Amino acid sequence: MTQQTSEIQQLREMASLKEIKSRIQSVKSTQKITSAMKMVSSAKLRKAQRQIESFYPYEQKLTHILNNFLSAEETEVTSIYAIQREVKRVAIVAFSSNSSLCGSFNSNVAKDLKTKVNEYKHLGNENILIFPIGKKIAQSVKKMGFPVEESFEEMMDKPNYKDSQTLANRLMEMFRLNEVDRIELIYYHFVSKSSQVLVSEPFLPIELNANDKKHSIHQQNYLIEPDRLTILGELIPKVIRLKLYTALLDSAASEHAARTIAMQTATDNADDLLQDLNLQFNKSRQQAITNELLDIIGGSFGQS
């Protein structure tokens, strides 16, 4: 009876060792995947950073020129895109990723979208239009009960100015034709690899209040042709289009940064888990060997 009990115990110990070894192999396989995904995301992040770094100076310079025009005291500027109306219909543009495994990136965007929708809930769902840029936020929009008439997944996969300009023109036309009275943006602003800030801001109507008079256009020695108002008529829509493209680039870079950090964290956690499993495996194996020696010694004493 004692020998039978010992054999059962040995079988249990072997099964336990086999289970631990299987878990170790599983964690190692997962670690290889997360490590590879981290490398891919890092490469995509570097590309996205280059896009932002090459685009920001242009966008900032145009915004600076616009502010210079607006700060000129004798220039009274009006624009159809700056008209403040009573909000009866609103459009919300929310940016997310097309895939998961990027931490709380998508869930935070979805939460902020729900908060924004609740702010305009008194208008009725039929007067809240949502433009989801990215597969994940499109899924959240459907769960919220809003229709998704158009897919913008490709725009998130391959951010480019042409696609964002097409959407910006559509939004500007809707505002110009009084189809919507306000347009909001929800996206992540890329600060650095370790820092991304969730932003919720108005897209239209645009603010044309420049109070900084010390940077007046007269101090810039600009030659203006044909005249200020004509230039502003071209400059304001261009700045609006650039704002949407900036949000797209920001969101793309933030996604890759969030995924890089998430995969790095997962890889580090796998290292910690492997250490614990290896320690557990060695302890169990040592215990099994000790039990076998005790059985052998016990058997030897029994025979003598």
pLDDT in tens, 205-223: 988 765 544 444 444 566 7
- Examine residue 25 and state whether it is found in any structural domain, yes or no: no
- How much is the pTM? 0.83
138 inside domain:
yes
Triad 34, 264, 32: Cα angle to 5° = 25
Single-letter code of the amino acid located at 121: K
Q: Kindly state whether residue 21 falls inside one of the protein's structural domains.
A: no
Instruction: Tell me how crowded residue 154 is: count the other CB atoms within 10 A of its CB.
Output: 11
297 is a domain residue: no
What was the pLDDT predicted at 281? 76
Q: What is the pLDDT of residue 209?
A: 65
The whole-number pLDDT of residue 77 equals: 66
Q: Is residue 268 part of a domain?
A: no
The stretches in the chain having pLDDT less than 50 are 1, 3, 212-219
**Residue 288 belongs to a domain:** no
The total of structural domains in the chain comes to 1
Give how far Cα 279 sits from Cα of 19, 28, 80, 87, 282, Å. 14, 15, 69, 63, 5
Residue 92 lies in a domain: yes
Contact 181, 86 (CB under 8 A): yes
Q: Is 275 among the domain residues?
A: no
- What are the DSSP calls for 115-173, one per residue? HHHHHTGGG-GGGEEEEEESHHHHHHHHHTT----S--HHHHHS--HHHHHHHHHHHHH
- Per-residue pLDDT of 105-148, as tens digits, reads 999 999 999 999 999 999 999 999 999 999 999 999 999 989 88
**CATH number, domain with residue 62:** 3.40.1380.10
Q: CA 289, CA 158: separation in Å to the nearest integer?
A: 58
The domain in which residue 245 lies consists of 46-261
Residue 15: its pLDDT value, please?
A: 63
The residues pairing with 91 across neighbouring beta strands, listed in sequence order, are 129, 183
Q: Please report the pLDDT score of residue 298 as a whole number.
A: 62
